[in-house]
A and B are shown apart, each in its own frame.
Chain A
Amino acid sequence: MKIELIVSGVCPFCLEAEKVWRVAAADHGFEFVVLDIAQPEGAALAQRLNLQTVPALLIGGVLRAVGVQSPEEALTLLHSPRQEAHDRMQQMGFAFSPDNRWFILTAQVYLMLAGLGLLMNSSFLSDNAARPAFMHLFTLGFMLFMIYGLASHMLPRFTGNPIREGSWPWLQMGLAHCGVIGYAAGYLAGRHTLIVVGAVLTWLSLAIFAFRVWPVLWPEEA
């Protein structure tokens, strides 16, 4: 069963409602979707239901409540079988999910490391053996991580389709960190094998990202 929460970016109470229902949905193993009325999917649903108030809650496609519910009220609205696999739940958040938050945060660390490395290594002035390490700390560590965090957060909201969650983003993140660090360390230490392993791990993280994002862009029913 799917829980849909219709929200607005200018609604001060919507974030609180999302927190309550995210926890309730996770506890009961429900699919949880947040739809913004500023986006076409959310607007269409709000128009169909003739909604005048947000946040509004739909359970199984039926409008069940408006406003912010307490955790106890949320429980009373949920009389349903427990779902089998919590880690397979697909959701999209109004606020950053923890994985996307970490992608964005660590991207800034890689950015600072890359800039420091390029400055200290005089890589802005000349090519040298260590330059690829710092260049890729910027392109992979900063730019790729920013795309991971922002695209995973925004694309589900733009399309109204859920993204693959559970352990997938954490696997993607682990591979990306090991890959970027291994790649840079390989260049700095002059270890070619480490460079190759780092590149492969980073590529695998990108493949997982594509696997997660593809159904967001091209859902089966489309």
Chain B
Amino acid sequence: MHKRNRLFVSIALVYGLLGGLIAIVRLIDPSLIPGNVPRAHGHIMLLGFILMTIYGIALHVLPRFGGFPLYSEQMADWQLYLANAGLPLMIAGWLGWRDMLVMVGGALTYGAIVLFGLNMILTVRAGGRGRVIPVQ
């Protein structure tokens, strides 16, 4: 499994634990963490935990299921960078009530989503670059 894909899954686990912890702290004492905590929690879990798990697993398995190599490793690398630059900015924006940070972070996160979507479309569609090396 490519190191980048393992990083996606590993970072997803970290986000999952972080998002859960924030929610628990909020439940115990809402004043302990400032800002829009429910929104931050929701997006940490969905964009950080769920989506990055999907990124890591899909980047590994969809090319194999599709029968073609990943269209672009570079796109996937940039997807990792953008996703992990965007979400922390969004979290900082929500917790610090800075809408600009949320917007910039959201744009970066969306950039990662677009890169992933295009990469998957170009990988899975019929007539890609070539077959995965068959092993008999």
Q: Are B16 and A206 in contact (CB under 8 A)?
A: yes
**Shortest distance between the CB of B91 and any CB in chain A (Å):** 18
| A196 and B17 contact, CB distance less than 8 A | no
Contact between B50 and A143, CB atoms less than 8 A apart: yes
| B43 interface residue per 8 A CB criterion | no
A199 at the interface (CB under 8 A from B): yes
Interface of B is mostly: helix
Interface residues of B toward A: which range? Answer: 20 to 34
Summed over the interface, the residue pairs from A and B with CB atoms below 8 Å come to a total of 63
Does A217 reach chain B (CB closer than 8 Å)?
A: yes
Residue of A nearest to B9 (CB): A217
CB atoms of A46 and B135 under 8 A apart: yes
* Interface check B28, CB cutoff 8 A: yes
Task: For A47, give the chain B residue with the smallest CB separation.
Answer: B135
- B123 neighbours in A (Cβ, 8 Å): none
Chain A residues contacting B28 (CB-CB under 8 Å) are 196
Interface string of A98-110 (1 = CB under 8 A from B): 0000000000000
Q: A139-B45, A151-B9, A218-B10 are in contact. Are A206 and B17 (CB under 8 A)?
A: yes
Which are the 9 A-B pairs with shortest beta-carbon distances? A203-B20, A43-B135, A210-B13, A158-B1, A217-B6, A159-B1, A37-B135, A196-B27, A199-B24
13 inter-chain pairs at a CB distance below 8 angstroms, sorted by A residue, are: A37-B135, A38-B64, A42-B135, A143-B50, A154-B61, A155-B9, A158-B60, A158-B61, A159-B1, A200-B24, A203-B20, A210-B17, A217-B6
Binding site for A on B (CB under 8 A): 1, 6, 9-10, 13, 16-17, 20-21, 23-24, 27-28, 45, 50, 53, 57, 60-61, 64, 133, 135-136
